[in-house]
């Protein structure tokens, strides 16, 4: 395994030039591609390296997961308020998004588990 290329520009055209430079035969032999989750990158990799496993960076995966958790928390807080329940998830954003080791140490044992029991599964 070896590094083939690092782009200087974050453009679809730059990536297309790389694939043109190495040619179709080499593209078919590429086994792994490491990229972020930028849609043009994902499209170009799928188009030019259909046999490659695209390895996504952890930072962007965790960021998207945290955003989704926060959206669910906010939606559930609004739903619970509308239905007359005490919104136990209100102001709980950081308790839910903290790493487990910090959450248990700073926020009390099992808060996220208890709060999650009030949420409706999507």
**pLDDT one-digit tens code per residue, 10-37:** 889 988 999 999 999 999 999 999 888 8
Rounded distance, CA 30 to CA 4, Å? 9
Number of domains within the chain: 2
Helix (H) or strand (E) holding 35: strand 32-35
Same domain, 42 and 72: no
Q: pLDDT by residue (tens digit) across 27-70? A: 999 999 988 889 999 999 999 999 999 999 888 888 888 898 88
Verify that 31 and 48 share a domain, yes or no: yes
Question: Are 95 and 83 contained in the same domain?
Answer: yes
Are 68 and 109 found together in one domain? yes
Whether 26 and 50 share a structural domain: yes
Q: 36 and 18, same structural domain?
A: yes
Shared domain check, 68 and 28: no
- Half-sphere exposure of residue 42, counting CA atoms within 13 Å on the CB side? 7
């Amino acid at each position: 395994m070896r590094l083939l290329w690092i782009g200087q520009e974050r453009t679809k055209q730059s990536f297309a030039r790389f694939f043109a430079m190495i040619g179709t035969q080499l593209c078919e032999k590429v086994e792994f591609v490491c990229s972020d989750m930028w849609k043009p990158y994902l499209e170009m990799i799928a188009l030019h390296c259909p046999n490659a496993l695209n390895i996504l960076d952890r930072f962007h995966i965790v960021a998207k997961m945290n955003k989704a958790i926060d959206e669910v928390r906010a939606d559930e807080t609004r739903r619970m308020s509308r239905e007359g329940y005490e919104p136990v998830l209100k102001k709980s954003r950081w308790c839910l998004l903290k790493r487990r080791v910090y959450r248990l140490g700073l926020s009390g044992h099992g808060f996220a588990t208890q709060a999650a029991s009030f949420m409706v599964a999507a």
